Structure 1
């Protein structure tokens, strides 16, 4: 079975951003680490949101980090 893109824009994407990023070393959660001056999470959400099939993006993150 192969995945097919849905051109109607009714796809929801869950972005998990709840990890502590401890394997990355000190500096806070990986999703909030800066890449090119912006948090990694921002890069991910922007990229996912540009897909024509994506209607909703949900970020799962700890309430203390939102």
Structure 2
């Protein structure tokens, strides 16, 4: 039997984005803070998604922000 790898790769990545980012100071959680006009999370996920070995990306977001994170990454 021969294993067939997905042409997109076979790596799953978990992106932890559920922290409050308190050490960064008051404001939104660190993953949702803007860098060059976009949330840090978007920058991270975009670069992970560009890796040919990555097949699945799972983002762990705060329960209260799940819908906004989902929309942001759509």
TM bucket, shorter chain:
0.7 to 0.9
Structure 1 unaligned residues grouped into runs of 5+: 1-7
RMSD: 1.7
Report how many aligned residue pairs link the two structures.
61
Structure 2 unaligned residues grouped into runs of 5+: 1-6, 67-74
Residue equivalent to 2:16: 16
Q: Deviations over 1:13-63 (max 9, x none)?
A: 000001000000011100000000000000000000000000000000112
Relative to the length of structure 2, the TM-score reads: 0.77
Larger radius of gyration: 2
Q: Which 4+ stretches in 1 moved above 2 angstroms? A: none
Relative to the length of structure 1, the TM-score reads: 0.86
